[in-house]
Amino acid sequence: MIRTALILLLILNTLQLTDRSIVYGVPLPTDTPGDRLEQAFQLKDQFRDREALDAFKSVLEIDENHYEALWNVVMLNTSIGYRQDSSSDEEAHYDEAFRYAEQLIELYPDSAGSHFAYSAAVGRKAQSVGARERIRLSTEIREHAEKAVELDPNYSRAWNVLGNWHHRAANLSRLERFAANALFGGAPEGASNEKAREAFQKAMEIDPHFTLYYHDKAEFLLTIGEETRARRIIRQGLELDIVTSDDELWKENMREMLSGL
């Protein structure tokens, strides 16, 4: 009996040395991209963005070409960067978002999500540069947002990017218009407030529960002087549930817009 027990112990010790995924016939959790990805999404759902960002990066340590991890690293950097008080911290996140977006678009050029993420990263990067560089980057924003909706007409976030592009390009500041004339011989072609309205409406029709769409459309309506419609859109947006870590920020901005009307 003692001899039998010793033999069993020896076998178990051998298993532990050769295959640590099995103990007493029960598989142990393995550290795979899927395991890390699940943890990353859990952190993201809990609005723990910095931890989620690190978790998605850890997925890339195992699989550097993992689509979902790359996409989320881009988008989390754009969100975290936007919330920074320090301009240097903000730019650092935007630069990182852009680097990963370049990798994403190179690996997955036929994905609507890749083109959207790239346009979003470029859009954030454009916020921290001068007027001339911002005008130049706007061409890339439009190109990739349009490619995204071409690949997937129901990609609401890309429609919202297009709405913002037309909003900004059709209502350039004096300095931006000067830069556009100096560098490109004029403002971006095809930009219009009507196309901005259509794109924002398309985004909201596809996904009526995304607070950002109400925020951005309200900004646009205020720009073109439609205060009554802006007030209605803001109130609708403020009634939405919080579903992303940025939603409370958008709601705070909308409350400020509303108080100014």
CATH number at residue 202: 1.25.40.10
4-13, 25-34, 109-118, range with greatest mean pLDDT = 109-118
Assess contact for 107 and 87: CB atoms under 8 A.
no
**Integer angstrom CA distances of residue 64 from 51, 72, 227:** 19, 13, 47
32 pLDDT above the threshold of 50:
yes
With a CB cutoff of 8 Å and minimum separation 6, the contacts of 99 are: none
Instruction: Write down the pTM of the prediction.
Output: 0.84
In a domain, 10, yes or no: no
pLDDT for 178:
67
Statement to judge: residues 112 and 210 lie in one domain: no
pLDDT for 186:
57
The whole-number average pLDDT for the span 137-160 is: 96
Domains in the chain: how many in total? Answer: 2
100 pLDDT above the threshold of 70:
yes
The whole-number average pLDDT for the span 213-217 is: 98
In a domain, 6, yes or no: no
Assess contact for 21 and 32: CB atoms under 8 A.
no
- Which residue, 121, 152, 183, sits at the end of a domain? 152
- The DSSP annotation for 192-250 comes to -HHHHHHHHHHHHHH-TT-HHHHHHHHHHHHHTT-HHHHHHHHHHHHTSPP-STTHHHH
What is the rounded CA–CA span in Å between residue 70 and residue 59?
Answer: 9
* Banded pLDDT at 135 (limits 50, 70, 90): confident
86 pLDDT above the threshold of 50:
yes
What is the rounded CA–CA span in Å between residue 108 and residue 118?
Answer: 11
Phi first, then psi: give them for residue 209, nearest 5 degrees: -110, 10
pLDDT for 161:
97
In a domain, 204, yes or no: yes
In a domain, 67, yes or no: yes
- How does pLDDT run across 153-193, given as a tens digit for each residue? 999 999 999 999 999 999 987 777 766 665 555 567 789 99
Query: In a 3-state reduction of DSSP, which class is residue 28?
Result: coil
The whole-number average pLDDT for the span 47-68 is: 97
In a domain, 238, yes or no: yes
pLDDT for 25:
37
Question: Could you tell me the two tokens for 43?
Answer: 């952190």
Assess contact for 217 and 234: CB atoms under 8 A.
no
Statement to judge: residues 144 and 205 lie in one domain: no
Host domain of residue 103: 36-152
pLDDT for 174:
77
